[in-house]
Structures are given as C-alpha cells and as structure tokens.
Amino acid sequence: MSNVEILAPAGSLDGLYASFQMGADAVYVGTSRFGARAFAKNPSVDELEEALVYAHMHDKKIYLTVNTLLSDRELENDLFPLIAPLYEAGLDACIVQDLGVLSFLHENFPQMDLHASTQMTILSGDEAELYRNYGVTRFVPARECTIEEIRAMRAQTDLEIEVFVHGALCYCYSGQCLMSEEIGDRSGNRGMCAQPCRLPFTSAYGNGHLFSTKDMCTLMHIPELVDAGIDSFKIEGRMKKKEYSAYLSSLYRHYVDVYESEGNEAFQALVQNKESRLWKDIRRSKDIYNRGGFSAGYLFETDKKNIMYPKKNGHFGTCVGTVLKASKGQAVFRVKEALHYQDILEFRLEDDTKAYEYTVKNEAAPGDVVTCNVKRGSTIFKGQKVYRTKNAALLSWIDEKIETIDDKISLKGEMTAKIGKPIALKLQGLSHEVTVFGEPLQRAVNRPVTKDEIEKRIRKMGNTNYRLTDFSITLEEDSFVPMGEIAKLKREALAAFEREAVSGRSVGEQKPHKKKELFVWQNVSILKVSTMEQLRTAVETDESDVWIELPVALFAKEEDEVIKLLKNRPVILSFPRIMKAGVEEKWRTLINRLIVGAVVINSHRALLVAKKRFQDCPWIAAETFYHENERAKEVLAELGICPAIKRGYGRKEVMVTKGCLKRTLDRCDGKEERILVSGGKGDKFYVVNNCDFCYNTIYTKNGEKKPEFDKPAWHHFTWETADEMRKVLKTWNLL
C-alpha cells in the first residue's frame, strides 16, 4: 500500500463520495461555518457524520476546514458545538489558520489531529515545529515553496507534510491577502474571497488579468514529489464540480502507484513519450479545468512568467481545431482532437476573447473537416483557433464510472441458533468483528424454519454499504423464528459493526476559558519608515513618545548614515514578511550596530530569529501576524510576543506576492519601481517590486487616516515625502 495520501477537495457531499470512489484516500471539506470556502455547497454536520462512517468503513479520512480567523464570540460560543459531534463521530483532523482556534481545539479535543493550513504561511520545517505543542501533526507549506525547499523541510521535521500538487494558485501568499476585503468587503480570511485578483486591471506597462495565475499540474513530476518525502498530495478545488475532484483523484492515485510499483525508468518513459497515456490524461485534465493551460507551479517553474496568464480568466479549455475557411454564416475548421456530441466549442480572437460559441451536433475524428453555422456578425477568420470548453463524453464517462464503482464492504456472517437460547449473529470484516443477540429460538409448532430461509433474509442488504460474501449457520432442528426477528437482528448487527468502525471518542463539556493578563505596548506610538528621507523626519520626534520601526532590508545599503542619524536611539527592528532561513545574515553588520529595543514578529521566521538573537528585548506582533481573538493573543504571549497596537496612518499592504508584475509584462529591468494599477470599478493599487528578493508588495493607493483614538498607534509610511510625513505626525500630535 502506498504511503502517499491523495487528498481531494469536497465542495459538496456528492463531491466527497465521488472523490473517495475514484481513488482519493482523504478529502478536505467545510461545513456550515468557519471554512475558507463559505460559498461552496458544504455538507451539514449530520451529513458529515454519515460521511465519516462511510469513510472509516473504507479506510478513508475526512479533514474539516476551520481555516479562517474567528472572533472571541465565535470561538467561545459557536465552535465547540460545531466540532463536538464530528469529533465523537471520528473526525480525522481539522485544518486550522487561527492560533486561537488551534489552542482551543487542542485543549477541548486532544485526541484529534490538527493540520496547520497554508493560510499560516509556513515556509520551513522549523517554523512548523513552533506549533507541535499545540497539537499540530501536519502542515501545508506555502504554495510558493520550491521542491528543493520541500526536501529541506523533510530533513528538518518528522511532522507530516501536505503539498498542493494541482489546481488554482493564489497570486498572493495564502493568508496574507486583503484585496478581496479591500475591494468588495469580502475577506478571504473569513472564507469569502471574491477572487478580485482574477479581474482585469490596467497599468502603464500593460493591461489584462495582471494577477491571474495559471492552474498547476504536477502529474509529470510525481517521482520528484514522492522522493521529496511529501506525505499528502493535495488537489485544490472545493468550488469545482464533483467530476473535477473525482477525475483528478483517480489520475494522481494511478500515477503515484505506477511510479511506486514500476520505478523511475518506467515513469520517465511515459514522460518522454508525448503520446503516452500520461500526456493523454494531462490533456483530458485540461478539458476538465485549466486557466491559460498548466504550469508546474512554484514547485518546479524557474521562470515566474510561466505561472501567469494575463490574457484570459476562467476555464481556458483545450485547442481542438483551426479554421480553414470562413464565409458569411459559416466556418470550416480542421479537427485535431476527437469531438463528441454536446461538446461546447469557442472560436476565439487573438486576445483569447470569445468570438462565437458552438455546441457540437455530430462526432468528428482527428483530421476531419467540420462545417458549422455561425451567427452573422461573428468574427471568424482563417487560422483562428477553436477551443473546447466542455468535453461532454469525458464528463459522461466520469459520471458513469462513479455510478458503476462497487464500493460495498464485504462481510462474513455466522449465526448460531439453539432452542431456548438467544440467537447469535456474528459479522466480520475490515479487521472488525461484532456479535449481537436476539430473542431465544423457539421450538416449531407447525412448519420449522429452514437454513435457506434464514440465509436468504440475512443476505438481503438492500441499499446498505455491505455485501455478505460468506455465511454459515448452526440451526437446531425442528425450530422456528419469525423472519421479522431475523431482519431486526441483521439491522442491529450492521449498526453495531458501524459503531465498532468509528472512533468511539467522547467529549465532555467545553473547558472554560480563563483569561490571562497580557502585556500591552503602552503610551508609545510606532513609526514604520521606508526611506532615508522618512528616517530623517522620524528622528525629529521625541523618543520618549515615539519608537521608530526600521525595516532592516530597506536600509542595509545606507548603514553608516542610518547609524549616524539614530545617535544611539533604540529602534524596533523588522524583517520582510516573507523571509527564508538565513537571509537575516545579509544584514548582520547593520543589525549588530543598531540598538535593538524591540523586534517585530511578522512571520514565523522572524520569531525564530528573535528566539535565537534577540532574547533580551520585547517582541511585538505585526497586525498581519493575525491575532483577532483573546486566545490567539494568549498563544502569542506563550511564545513571548506582545500583541500589536492599533494601526494609525498608513497604506494597507493588500498582497505580498512571489510573482512580479514587471516580469509578467516583459518589463523586467532589475529596477525597483512603483506601478499604479486600476480595476474596472475604480479600485487603484500600487505595485512595488523588490528586486533584491524578486517579489511584489501591493498597497492601497491612499493611506490617510484621521485620528480616531488616542496613542499608541502604529503608523506605516511608504513613499511619503518629508513634508507629507510631517503633516501626518502633526495631525497625530507627534511633532
């Protein structure tokens, strides 16, 4: 049996069962609340309880997504009654983002595994280890990690590693995106992402779906994924149809098994032969869903441009033909992929927009020439590409496959019936065994019951999940039992068998929350500066009232001037939000010359650096190191971190991305720049590229905020001039 788990998305109950039937070892699914896909057709708690029985009967697992940020009221009043019945039904794990949720679940449901969501932006094994003591048994690294980084994680920890191998990619590091909240007041961290990154934007360098990524497919890279020590291959797509998750589950299960049974040489033969079943299956998976084709994701792509597709959003389909001739009301095209009745085709313009949509009436083979009528006025021309956006035959095949799979559980039965003693029925299967007892067997008054009559009634399993493959009976002669009693005994035996297969866990009352005293940053404002001009302005403030946050990566090249300006004034040191292990050594000389009065914890890496190098000063959480409820703040306190103070003035960072807009638009020149992008509804953002580490930060265009509360406040300055900064400081009575 393979050690690699195929983990499928289940956005509906149908999708859950279909994925299991087609090869998934586990599914991740939300329910009525607190999952990151609030608009999926999530099953109810009752439906999930039934699904857990089915899953465990078939040696499968179900993981519940609780991967959003919760308020105190939700955490203390609503989460326990949601999880408790599922915990008792044997829920295998919860996928978690919120540190408060992590602590709550570990305290109240100690026997349940907890998985650290990709929303936590974990970039290494030692970062994941920070949360082992909170019940974390598995983590999902950020999708921006490379296969080399995954291998390094495997060497750092024995926690299970779950990696996205197929499906949509966010443009922003998961959990760090605030764009949906900013544009449509629908927070991705509350499960309501509206995917505004998929919308068209305009910029001075180019227009289009500037932040829209291709879907990822790694079927051809399965050997590298398996050899990296990944425990679970995760397929994205809880908003997709059941055919998507079911089909992809079958493909990834099949090709993992091929590699593990036949070896790398046989697998590479499939990769190198473009007519192999592997490549045919990849083309079919494009028919199911893709955006702009497939990339191999950040795991394997070396050129970030290959990850993006700015020309079109939504299902891209597959190219199935080329127009040979166009006339008024007709198009003639040559087919390169087989067409089927009810396939949907699109004739596309050069910018990939749809010129005409056509539903196939007759089947066609590769090489055939097809003539179809088109709506007058449609732009059809010689050489135009024709794409299929619905492969009707493939979808029908998947549905038929799901319907015809026999997933009933084989049982062996044994009955012992002696006059005057309770009838005993034993069932065996799946390494479980149960025995139930009925009424005493009676002596026959008229016609005795026969073994065949009893066996016939026992074997009738109806719509249950079982089949009886073997049955034996010891029946005393000249006896009688009503067939209704036999049916009742069978029902009781099946119910007992199901109870035996589920967890048997029980949960008591919710543990009361004993609030702890937390250290709070008192009576001091913080100025985060980004330029030397801003630093010169910041030092004009009174250091007894104001602390300066110094992002060390932005000032390392101006080391001498920074030290001269500060004049022994302590600073709050901060690192980039996305930082890999060892990167802080690049700034070691500046760090050693600074008087570090505190450290900003804006990532798990920053926490590890602080633990190693800055144990003698306070650590303060950034607002983006989420702690929305009291329990999360208590976890921070246990880790040695003070909660953030309120934000005052500043542009909001709505995205931190591994992608680079200038690279996407072929404008990469190695120079850092601020690019204004505009959405269709007037939304405007600045994209700022960092060439030292090749990433983008996207900010709201405007950042002014009037004073609404007393100090302390955390003010974030980006590219304000000295005069603009002084104006803000005076507004807040800091100058």
Mind listing the pLDDT tens digit for each residue in 261-276? 999 999 999 999 999 9
Q: Are 459 and 411 in contact (CB under 8 A)?
A: no
DSSP code string of 98-160: -HHHHHHHHHH-TTSEEEE-GGG---SHHHHHTTGGGTEEEE---TT--HHHHHHHHHH--SE
CATH architecture of 318-404: Beta Barrel (2.40)
Instruction: Give the strand pairing for 684-690 and 466-475.
Output: unpaired
**Tens-digit pLDDT profile for residues 347-373:** 999 999 999 999 999 999 999 999 999
What is the SS3 assignment for 398? helix
The torsion angle over the Cα atoms of residues 723, 724, 730 and 735, rounded to 10 degrees, is -50
Any idea where the domains of the chain sit in the sequence? 5-169+213-263, 318-404, 409-501, 525-651+703-731
Same fold, 5-169+213-263 and 318-404: no
What is the three-state SS of 576-592?
Answer: CCCCCCCHHHHHHHHHH
Predicted local confidence at residue 49, as pLDDT? 92
The structure tokens 């499968």 sit at 60
- Stretches where the chain sits below pLDDT 70 are 1, 35-40, 188, 503-504, 517-519, 704, 706-710
Predicted local confidence at residue 116, as pLDDT? 98
Share of the chain above pLDDT 70, in %: 97
Q: What b/e sequence results for 571-594 when a residue is b if at least 16 CB atoms lie within 10 Å of its CB, and e otherwise?
A: bbbbbbbbbebebbeebeebbeeb
Tally Cβ neighbours within 10 Å of residue 362: 10
**Tens-digit pLDDT profile for residues 319-339:** 999 999 998 889 999 999 999
The structure tokens 């998976």 sit at 285
- Alpha-carbon distance of 170 to 316, in angstroms, equals 17
Give CATH for domain 5-169+213-263.
3.20.20.70
The token duo for 447 is 């016609």
Predicted local confidence at residue 704, as pLDDT? 66
Instruction: Give the strand pairing for 344-348 and 354-359.
Output: antiparallel
Q: Are 212 and 197 in contact (CB under 8 A)?
A: yes
